[in-house]
A = this chain, B = another copy of it.
């Protein structure tokens, strides 16, 4: 399958590397590829990550393109941009490269402007998943994987025991295809919990504040939520 992964941060890179390891074609999307490749400073809002060019050199099978160029030939889109810029990114792609495609939304609308911890915005009466679906009604949004560290997203076995990933979306066929993709990442079917329509994205995005608290208390991010008794 041909994937476009929007966002060249650690989440986008981790998912892109997993997808190519499974034999998929992947283009990472960025605003300005030349500028992304020219950066020499470490990137990232949390722990610093290597400049993109250094990572690219180690992952020659991942291509880099503008958001629109990456989306043009892709069958499946992955939103790994910062949640606060996701609408702008998809606007720059254009509905002609969005409509009819599955958009896997991994992003969280965290506002870092007030320092640490970031505030979820919207937080209670809307969600990024709903906003994307509402703004781009032709794309088939599936919210998933946003509730854990990206290393866990693509390698669930690094957390011992049962733990879960959630699915939210209005398109049942899209959710079924994302379920299969998650299964190929190593997620057991029983740990992929379909919560319902895209409105339930609100609940999974609202897991972020406790996730951030737990990361701080535990001193690591190799954990995940499990619904015991489901």
Contacts and interface: CB of A to CB of B under 8 A. Distances in A.
Contact of A217 (B119, B195, B228): B195
A123 interface: yes
Contact of A223 (B159, B160, B223, B227): B227
Interface string A181-207: 000000000000111100010111011
A195 B209 CA distance: 11
A206 B161 contact: no
A163 B229 contact: yes
Contact of A121 (B124, B194, B230): B124
A224 B226 CA distance: 8
A126 to B, nearest CB: 10
A196 B216 contact: yes
Per assembly, the copies of the chain total 2
A196 B217 contact: yes
A225 B223 contact: no
A163 B119 contact: no
Contact of A222 (B161, B166, B229): B229
B210 A163 contact: no
Range class of the A interface residue count = 35 or more
A193 B211 CA distance: 13
A54 interface: no
A113 to B, nearest CB: 12
A212 interface: yes
A122 interface: yes
A207 B124 CA distance: 11
A214 interface: yes
A45 interface: no
A125 interface: yes
Contacts of A211: 203
Nearest to A223: B229
A128 to B, nearest CB: 12
B196 A228 contact: no
24 contacts: A119-B124, A119-B125, A120-B206, A121-B124, A124-B206, A124-B209, A159-B229, A161-B229, A193-B217, A194-B217, A196-B213, A196-B217, A202-B209, A206-B206, A206-B209, A207-B207, A218-B229, A223-B229, A223-B230, A224-B227, A224-B228, A225-B225, A225-B228, A226-B228
